[in-house]
Amino acid sequence: MRYEFSELSPAERYKLLVNTITPRPIAWVVTLDNAGRTNAAPYSFFNAMGADPALVVLGIAGDNARAGEAQKDSLRVIRETGEFTIALVTEADAEIMVMTAINAPAGTSELEFAGVETRPARHVKPPVIASSPVTFECKVWKIVDTSDNSAIVIGEVIAMDIVDSVLSEEDGKLRIDAPALKLLGRAHGAGHYWRGTDQIVIDRKSWPEETV
**Quick one: which of 72, 93, 126, 135 contacts ligand FMN (CB under 6 A)?**
72
DSSP the chain: ----GGGS-HHHHHHHHHTTS--EE-EEEEEE-TTS-EEEEEE-SEEEEEETTEEEEEEE-EETTSTT-EEPHHHHHHHHHSEEEEEE-BGGGHHHHHHTTS-PPTT--HHHHHT--EE--SSSSS-EETT-SEEEEEEEEEEEE-SSS-EEEEEEEEEEEE-GGGEEEETTEEEE-GGGG-BEEE-STTT-EEES------PPP-TTTTT-
Closest approach, Cβ 175 to ligand FMN, in A, equals 29
Could you tell me which residues come within 8 angstroms of residue 115 by beta carbon, excluding any fewer than 6 positions away?
96
User: Could you tell me how many residues of this chain bind ligand FMN (CB under 6 A)?
Assistant: 18
**Residues in 128-157 at the binding interface with ligand FMN, rule: CB under 6 A:** none
Q: Does 183 bind ligand FMN (CB under 6 A)?
A: no
Q: Does 101 bind ligand FMN (CB under 6 A)?
A: yes
Q: Does 28 bind ligand FMN (CB under 6 A)?
A: no
Closest residue by Cα to residue 135 from 148, 147, 122, 145: 122
Closest approach, Cβ 208 to ligand FMN, in A, equals 41
Closest approach, Cβ 91 to ligand FMN, in A, equals 13
**Quick one: which of 30, 32, 42, 116 contacts ligand FMN (CB under 6 A)?**
42
**Quick one: which of 15, 37, 54, 61 contacts ligand FMN (CB under 6 A)?**
61
Pick the closer one to ligand FMN by CB: 18 or 54: 18
**Quick one: which of 25, 30, 33, 45 contacts ligand FMN (CB under 6 A)?**
45
Q: Does 47 bind ligand FMN (CB under 6 A)?
A: no
Pick the closer one to ligand FMN by CB: 46 or 141: 46
Q: Does 43 bind ligand FMN (CB under 6 A)?
A: yes
- Residues 91, 133: Cα–Cα separation, whole Å: 11
Q: Does 59 bind ligand FMN (CB under 6 A)?
A: yes
Residues that bind ligand FMN (CB under 6 A): 26, 39, 41-45, 59-61, 63, 72-74, 98, 101, 103, 186
